[in-house]
Amino acid sequence: MQEERNPGGPPGSTPEPLDAQDEKTWSVVAHLSVLAGLIGLVPFGALLVWLLYRDRSARVRFHAAQAFWYQVAWIVIFLAYVLVTVVLSIVTLGIAAIVLIPLAFLLAVVPLAHGCYAAYRVNEGEDYRYPFIADRVDGGARRVH
């Protein structure tokens, strides 16, 4: 019978660290979790990766945390945009909606494309850093190893 490695482990045991390939894979998954927004599940994918692997890899923890906060930031930006669109549409009797509603679809594409780009860069071996978000996640540290 094969012994399982830390299957929940005894209290106080540390989880087994991830190897380099698994770190890369789960870091890419964290960034690609932005695509879960297509079915309304942003930012839960990145949060799930962070919860599962935060103790096993500093690299995955960093990428999942920054992907999570990046997605949260875009949710806030999008909600603010919707609020401004509604207010301006009421004030201008719907004229602003003619311009602002189509722009909302364009605005929604930005985090999807950027998350896919980040996943690509991480897959190429770079520790991609989202502007503004990464410095808040890791306190300005430049390396994640």
pLDDT for 23-36, tens place per residue?
A: 999 999 999 999 99
Long-range contacts, 54-58 (Cβ 8 Å, 24+): 55/14, 55/15, 56/15, 56/16, 56/17, 56/18, 57/17, 57/18, 57/22, 57/23, 57/26, 58/144, 58/145
Residue 143 has pLDDT above 90, yes or no: no
Question: ∠ CA 136-112-60 to the nearest 5 degrees?
Answer: 45
Residue 1 has pLDDT above 50, yes or no: no
- Note whether residue 32 is domain-resident: yes
User: Domain range for residue 31?
Assistant: 20-127
Q: What percent of the chain has pLDDT over 70?
A: 88
Q: Nearest CA to 59 among 84, 33, 23, 31?
A: 23
Q: What is the average per-residue pLDDT within 58-72?
A: 96
- Note whether residue 62 is domain-resident: yes
Domain total in the chain: 1
pTM of the predicted protein model: 0.84
- Note whether residue 55 is domain-resident: yes
- Note whether residue 66 is domain-resident: yes
- Note whether residue 135 is domain-resident: no
- Note whether residue 85 is domain-resident: yes
Q: What is the average per-residue pLDDT within 114-130?
A: 97
- Note whether residue 82 is domain-resident: yes
- Note whether residue 35 is domain-resident: yes
Report how far residue 68's alpha carbon sits from residue 45's, in angstroms, rounded to the nearest whole number.
Answer: 8
Q: What percent of the chain has pLDDT over 90?
A: 76
